[in-house]
Amino acid sequence: MRVVTKIGEMQNIVDDLRRDKRIVSLVPTMGYLHDGHLSLMKIARQNSDIVIVSIFVNPTQFAPHEDFGSYPRDIAGDTKLANSAGVDFLFTPEKNEIYPADYATFVDVDEITEKLEGKSRPTHFRGVATIVTKLFNIAKPHVAIFGQKDAQQALVIKKIVFDLNFGIKIIIAPTIREKDGLAMSSRNSYLTKEQRQESPVLYESLTEASKMISGGITDCLTIKEKMIKLISMKQSAKIDYISIADSTDLEEVDVLQKGGTYLISLAVKFGNTRLIDNIIQTI
Amino acid sequence: MRVVTKIGEMQNIVDDLRRDKRIVSLVPTMGYLHDGHLSLMKIARQNSDIVIVSIFVNPTQFAPHEDFGSYPRDIAGDTKLANSAGVDFLFTPEKNEIYPADYATFVDVDEITEKLEGKSRPTHFRGVATIVTKLFNIAKPHVAIFGQKDAQQALVIKKIVFDLNFGIKIIIAPTIREKDGLAMSSRNSYLTKEQRQESPVLYESLTEASKMISGGITDCLTIKEKMIKLISMKQSAKIDYISIADSTDLEEVDVLQKGGTYLISLAVKFGNTRLIDNIIQTI
C-alpha cells in the first residue's frame, strides 16, 4: 500500500492507472476505521482493480459547535488496517492541501439536503457535497462506495453524481452493526459505558417499527409513538428526530402506501454524542 | 467534425481519446459564433490533439428578466463555422439533457462573484460555475479556453478549477474587436444602427483610461470621471458600472500603486442591450 498526501501526486497516479485501463474505486472516509469501513473496502476490491481509500476529517461538514476538533483520529492504526485490508493507495491529505487559505468554492444540493440531517445540521451537506466533488476530481474513480448508515448522504451523493455528470458508479453498502445492533460509527467511541449500554435502543426501535409495518400498521404516528416510547425509556437518550419518509425524495409521510419504499431514520443524542441510524422498508 | 448531443456519448468518446493519450481541449460557448469564438478554437487547436466546442445557451446563468429567450441562436450557421475551423467534436445538447426536470445541484464561488457582474447579476456566476463544472465532467478536457472579454468569468473559472481540483489548464484568450474597437459579442446583434454607432465608446473610454494611467495619473476617481464623461456623450448609453479593481481579487481601488495590475472594466446598457468590456493594465 502506498500512502499519498499530495493532490497532484494522487491525480498523476490515477491518470496513469486509467490510461492502463485499470478500474479504480474510491472509499472516502474520515478515518478511525472500523468494520463498517472495512466492509466498504471489501466491496471496492470486488468492483475494481485498484482500491483507493481516503482519510480526511472534513472541516466544512462540521458546524462550529460540532465535534470537528474532538473527532477521533488514529492515522497509524488506520494505516495498518487499510494495509491489511489490501488497499492499494491511502490518500491522507493535510487540511491545507484540501482547503488552502483562500478557498471559496462550494457545491450545494437543493431540496433533499433541507430535510432530516440537513435540518438539524444546516451546513453539513454543503461540506459533504464539496469534499466529495473534490475527492472525485482527485481520485477520479470509476466506482465509489459509501455506507447506508448515512442514508441521506448516500442520496445526496447520488444526486451530485447524476446532476454534475460525474459518470461514477455509486455503491451503497449495508450498515455493519455491533452484536447488540448498534450501527458501527467512529463516534461510538465517545459513548460512556452507560450510554453504550443504552445505545442499542436505536436499532431496537427501528426493528420494532419494521415489525409493526410487516404486521400491517400503516399509520406513521402510531409507529413513531412506539419508537419514541422505547427510546425514552433510556435515561441518557434524547431524540433529535424520528422520521418515516419516502426513500427517494425524503418527503415525510403520514400513512404508508402499498408498493411504497420508505426510509425510517432517526438521530438521537446520548449526552453530547449524536448518533444516527436507519432502515429502508418496502411494503 | 462529429456533432454529439448526448452526455453519455460525449463522455465515452473522451474516455477513449484519453486512453489513447490524446490531449483534449474544450471551448465552451453559447453559440452564435463570431471571430472571438474562432480565435478561441484556434488557440485550442494549438494546444491539443482534439478540439471539442460546446454550444449551449445556459439558462441558469440568466436571471428571469434577462435575455435567455431572445439570446441569438443559429445552430446551422454555427455548425458550418465550427466545421471550417477544424473542430473535431461539436457538443450541442438539448436543455433537458443538461438540466432534467428535478435538477438540484449548483456550484457557488464566494467573494469574487459578489462584485462587478455578480453585483449586477446576482445569480449569474452560480449558473456559470454550474455549467462549466458539468461541461468539464462531460468533455473531460486537459485544456479549456475562455475569452478575456468576460474577465470576471475567467477569474471565477480559474478559481473553480483550482478549488475543486479539476486539473484542467485554463487559457484566457485576448478579446477580439471589430475594426472600430467594439469587443465582439453575440449580443452585439441586438444593437440598433444608432446604438452600434455609439458602442465603440466603451473601448474608447478604456483606451483613454489606459492613456491617463500611462501618463502618470493614479487617482481612480479622476480616471472614472473621464470615462463617464466620454460615455455620457452617447445618447443611447447608460452606465451600469465602471470599475478599477485589483486584477486578482477584484477589490475596488482608489489610488493605483506602482507594480500593481488592475482590471478596468465596465458594463453599459444601450437600450435593453447590456455590453461589457475591459482591459488589464500593469503599472
**Closest CB from A11, A105, A166 relative to B163:** A105
**Closest CB from A111, A134, A138 relative to B104:** A111
Q: Which of B138, B173, B208 is the last residue of a domain?
A: B173
List pLDDT tens digits, range A32-52.
999 999 999 999 999 999 999
- Copy the grid coordinates of residue B262: 488592475
Q: What confidence score (pLDDT) does residue A44 get? A: 98
| Calpha distance B132→B29 (Å, rounded) | 10
| Calpha distance A109→A159 (Å, rounded) | 8
Do residue A208 and residue A166 come from a single domain?
no
Kindly determine whether residue A159 and residue B18, on different chains, have CB atoms separated by under 8 Å. Answer: no
List pLDDT tens digits, range A67-119.
999 999 999 999 999 999 999 999 999 999 999 999 999 999 999 999 999 99
Pairing between β-strand A261-270 and β-strand A237-246 as defined by DSSP bridges = antiparallel
List all residues 6 or more positions away from A151 whose beta carbon is below 8 Å from its beta carbon. A263, A265, A278, A280
Q: Which residues of A are less than 8 Å from B110 in CB distance?
A: 104-106
Do residue B9 and residue B148 come from a single domain?
yes
Q: What confidence score (pLDDT) does residue A128 get? A: 98
Do residue B101 and residue B149 come from a single domain?
yes
Residues A263 and A117 sit within 8 Å (Cβ to Cβ)? no
What ipTM describes this predicted complex?
A: 0.96
In chain B, DSSP assigns E strands to 2-4, 24-29, 50-55, 89-91, 105-109, 143-147, 169-173, 237-246, 261-270, 273-282
Strand partners of residue A55:
A29
| Calpha distance B68→B269 (Å, rounded) | 17
Do residue B137 and residue B273 come from a single domain?
no
Q: Which residues of B are less than 8 Å from A104 in CB distance?
A: 109-112, 159, 163
Do residue A119 and residue A204 come from a single domain?
no
Q: Does B166 touch chain A (CB under 8 A)?
A: yes
Does residue A179 sit within a domain? no
Q: Which residues of B are less than 8 Å from A7 in CB distance?
A: 165
Q: What confidence score (pLDDT) does residue A108 get? A: 98
Q: What confidence score (pLDDT) does residue B124 get? A: 97
pLDDT band with cut points at 50, 70 and 90 for residue A261: very high
Chain A closest-CA separation from residue B14 CA (Å): 12
Residues A199 and A269 sit within 8 Å (Cβ to Cβ)? no
Q: What confidence score (pLDDT) does residue B271 get? A: 96
**Closest CB from B105, B138, B159 relative to A104:** B159
Q: What is the pTM of this model?
A: 0.97
List pLDDT tens digits, range B34-61.
999 999 999 999 999 999 999 999 999 9
pLDDT along chain B (283 residues), means of 10: 98 96 98 98 98 98 95 97 98 98 98 96 97 98 98 98 98 98 97 98 98 97 98 98 97 97 98 97 94
User: How confident is the prediction for chain A on average, in pLDDT?
Assistant: 97
Q: What confidence score (pLDDT) does residue B31 get? A: 98
Do residue B251 and residue B196 come from a single domain?
yes
Q: What confidence score (pLDDT) does residue B246 get? A: 98
Q: Does B108 touch chain A (CB under 8 A)?
A: yes
Do residue B10 and residue B135 come from a single domain?
yes
Q: What does residue A281 show for φ and ψ, rounded to 5 degrees? A: -135, 130
3-state class (DSSP) for residue A183: strand
Does residue A181 sit within a domain? no
Q: Which residues of B are less than 8 Å from A165 in CB distance?
A: 7, 11, 134, 137-138
Cβ burial of B76 (10 Å; 0-12, 13-18, 19+) is exposed
Q: What confidence score (pLDDT) does residue A21 get? A: 94
Do residue A113 and residue A217 come from a single domain?
no
| Calpha distance B182→B275 (Å, rounded) | 10
| Calpha distance B151→B107 (Å, rounded) | 19
Q: Does B96 touch chain A (CB under 8 A)?
A: no
Q: Which of B150, B173, B196 is the last residue of a domain?
A: B173
Do residue A146 and residue A28 come from a single domain?
yes
Chain B closest-CA separation from residue A243 CA (Å): 23
Q: Does B22 touch chain A (CB under 8 A)?
A: no
The domain containing residue A202 runs over which residues? 186-278
Residues B54 and B87 sit within 8 Å (Cβ to Cβ)? no
CATH number at residue B160: 3.40.50.620
Of A150, A161, A163, nearest in space to A116 by CA: A150
Do residue B56 and residue B141 come from a single domain?
yes
Does residue B178 sit within a domain? no
CATH number at residue A268: 3.30.1300.10
Do residue B138 and residue B46 come from a single domain?
yes
Overall number of domains in chain B: 2
Q: Does B257 touch chain A (CB under 8 A)?
A: no
Kindly determine whether residue A160 and residue B21, on different chains, have CB atoms separated by under 8 Å. Answer: no
Q: Does A109 touch chain B (CB under 8 A)?
A: yes
Do residue B205 and residue B149 come from a single domain?
no
Does residue A263 sit within a domain? yes
Instruction: Tell me which chain B residue has its CA closest to the CA of residue A18.
Output: B19
| Calpha distance A51→A142 (Å, rounded) | 11
Which residue type does A135 have?
Answer: L
Give the angle A71-A74-A77 at the CA atoms, nearest 5°.
150
Q: What confidence score (pLDDT) does residue B235 get? A: 97
